Structure 1
C-alpha cells in the first residue's frame, strides 16, 4: 500500500533563535545501520554560518550555504541497491510522512525531501528523514517506534544526486544541529560537549570515500555508480578515481596502483587547487605492452590536510575472459 502525506515540517527556521541544548534533555541514536567511516560517511553538516557564510559546528567548512540538516551517505548506488536500513533515532510517534516519490525521478515543487518521515519525540523534539526509498516506508501516521527500529530504506527520492540520508532535528519547530545542540545559522561552538548523539561521532576535517577503478575517466553521471566487477586485460588504460567531501586548497592526494604480484604500476601526487564541498580527482596510466596481467589489481588513495591523513583502498579483477 502506497502511503502519502504531504504536510512535512517546513525546512525553514529563524536564524539565531536557538540556544545550545542541555545534553541531558534528550539523546539520539545513529539513524543508519552502518559503521561510520567504513560503510557510511558524513558528507555535510548543518550550516552554522550566518547569512551567506558557511561553517559546520566545529567552525570548519564541512557544510554548504543554507544546509538544514546532516547528510549521511554510502559509497555508491550498488550499496544502495542492497538495502540500507534507516533507523528511528529515539522513541516516538510517526507525525507526518510522504511516500510514492520515485527514486531518481523528477519531483514536484515542495517534494525536495522526497519520501520522508517526521517523528515526534519527547520534550518537543522531532526528527525528519529525507530521500527514503519509494515504498520502503514501513510505518503509518500514528504508529509508535522504538529507538533503533527500522522505519525505511535509504533511497534517491527528491532533490539528491548521491545516495544519502538527510536528517533534520528540531525542538518546538526550531532547527538544531545535533552535534552540539546549537541552532541553524547560530554561531558555531567548536565543541561537542553538548552533543545530542548518544555516541558522538568523531569529527574529521574531510571525508575520503572508497576509490573506484575504471578503464577511462568517468563522466559526472557515473560518479555514484558502483565499480565494475572486472575489466579486460585488453583495456586501454586503468584509471583510479578518488572522491572527497571537505577537500581544502593545498590538500595532497597520493595515488598508487599495484599489479597482482604487488609490483608498482603507477603512482602520482597532486594538490587540491581550491576548497570545495565535494571534489573528484583521478589518475591513471595506459596499458603496458601485452595488456594488463590477469589477477587482482590494487589501488590506494591517500588524502592529507595539515598532518591529518585518510587512506582508502580498492581492488579489481583483471579477467582473462571479458565479461
Structure 2
C-alpha cells in the first residue's frame, strides 16, 4: 500500500511538473500581423516600452517607444497607401473575443483630439484568444473594414481588416498587443524576460524580425518645402514636375534619428552638377524626421531633364541610410 501511494504521488508530481513546465514555457508563435514586407513597404515605428519606471526603452536599448507603450506598431508610409488597403492579419490561430468597427479615421495632432478618443484609444480593433491563456489585440483598423465577429475561429494569416488611423493614432499603422495570463508581453523578448533591454530574449516570432531603430519612410521631390503632415497624407509623389516650377525641393521622411547623427543631402541637375548640398549634425534625437533642400527657379530658371537627389545618414562612421531618387522636369 505504501509503495502504491508513493508511486501515485510521484505520478501526481510528474503531472504537475508538466503543467508548470507548460506554463513556464508557453508555446505561442506569431506571424506578421500585417500584409507587407518589413523594410520595403512597411516598418516597425514603435516597440513595447521595457522600462518599468517613468523612462522608456525598447528591447534593443533604443528610444523607439514611449513610456507605457504596450505593443508593437507596424506602420505604412502614408494615407494614400492606407486608402489602397493594407490587410491586417491574425498573428496566430484562435477565437475572436471582441471587435469594434465604427470609429472614424483621423490622425491625432493635438490634446483636444486625444481627449476625444479617451476610452477608445485602440479605435477599431479585434481581440483574439489563443491557447494557454494568450491573447492578441489589433488596434487602429480602418473604419468599416473589420471582417470578423466575436466567436469566429481564425487561422494564422486570416484577414481581420485594414490598416487605419482610428483611435489614438498619429500615423497609419496596426498596433499589436500580446498578453499572457493578462500580462503584456513584448513579442521580441518573450514572457520570461526581465524588465529593461539587457536580459535574455526568447522572441515569439516564427520568422526572426530584425531590430531596425532607424530607417527611411519615403523620399521624393516637391515644388515647395513639405510639411510633415503633408508627407503622412501621401502628398508629393509626382515623378514628373513642370520645368517652370518656382522651386525644386528634394525631401526625405525618416525615423529613429539620434543626436550626433550626420546627414548629407545633395541635389544634382541633369548635367550631373551639384546645385545644392549640405552636411549637418542632428542636434536632437527624433522619432520621426523630415529634411529637405532645393533650388529656386525664379532668378535662374530650372533646366529640363532628369534631376537626382541623394540622402545619407551616418552614425558612428557607419552609413545607416543611403538613398537616391530621380525626378523629370519638362
Q: TM-score, normalised by structure 2?
A: 0.83
User: 1:23 offset after TM fit, Å?
Assistant: 7.0
In structure 2, C-alpha distance between the alignment counterparts of 1:241 and 1:310, rounded to whole Å: 14
Q: Any idea what the Cα deviations from partners look like across 1:16-48, whole Å, max 9, x if unmatched?
A: xxxxx9776221001111111111111111111
In structure 1, C-alpha distance between the alignment counterparts of 2:121 and 2:136, rounded to whole Å: 17
- Higher relative contact order (Cα pairs below 8 Å, separated by 6+ residues): 1
User: 1:140 offset after TM fit, Å?
Assistant: 0.8
* Equivalent residues in 2 for 1:184-263, closer than 5 Å: 186-189=195-198, 193-226=201-234, 227-229=236-238, 230-260=240-270, 262-263=272-273
Aligned-pair RMSD on alpha carbons?
Answer: 2.4
Q: Any idea what the Cα deviations from partners look like across 1:92-112, whole Å, max 9, x if unmatched?
A: 111111111111176542111
Distance 1:190 1:284, change over 3 A: farther
In structure 1, C-alpha distance between the alignment counterparts of 2:25 and 2:307, rounded to whole Å: 48
Aligned partner of 2:325 in structure 1 is 314
Pick aligned residue for 1:74 from 76, 83, 87: 76
8 A Cα contact 2:228 2:290, kept in partner: no
User: 1:312 offset after TM fit, Å?
Assistant: 3.0
In structure 1, C-alpha distance between the alignment counterparts of 2:193 and 2:225, rounded to whole Å: 38
8 A Cα contact 1:42 1:207, kept in partner: no
User: 1:153 offset after TM fit, Å?
Assistant: 0.6
User: 1:228 offset after TM fit, Å?
Assistant: 3.7
In structure 2, C-alpha distance between the alignment counterparts of 1:190 and 1:251, rounded to whole Å: 27
In structure 1, C-alpha distance between the alignment counterparts of 2:271 and 2:84, rounded to whole Å: 32
- Post-superposition, which runs of at least 4 consecutive aligned residues in structure 1 deviate over 6 A? 21-24
8 A Cα contact 2:267 2:293, kept in partner: no
8 A Cα contact 2:308 2:326, kept in partner: yes
Distance 1:228 1:203, change over 3 A: closer
In structure 1, C-alpha distance between the alignment counterparts of 2:192 and 2:90, rounded to whole Å: 22
Specify every segment of 5 or more residues in structure 1 that has no aligned partner in the other structure, as ranges.
1-20
In structure 2, C-alpha distance between the alignment counterparts of 1:61 and 1:308, rounded to whole Å: 19
8 A Cα contact 1:57 1:190, kept in partner: no
Pick aligned residue for 1:178 from 153, 166, 187: 187
Distance 1:164 1:315, change over 3 A: farther
User: 1:245 offset after TM fit, Å?
Assistant: 2.1
User: 1:257 offset after TM fit, Å?
Assistant: 2.4
Pick aligned residue for 1:130 from 115, 119, 139: 139
8 A Cα contact 1:182 1:189, kept in partner: no
Asked which structure has the greater CA Rg, the reply is 2
Q: Any idea what the Cα deviations from partners look like across 1:127-153, whole Å, max 9, x if unmatched?
A: 111110111111111111110121111
Specify every segment of 5 or more residues in structure 2 that has no aligned partner in the other structure, as ranges.
1-22, 108-112
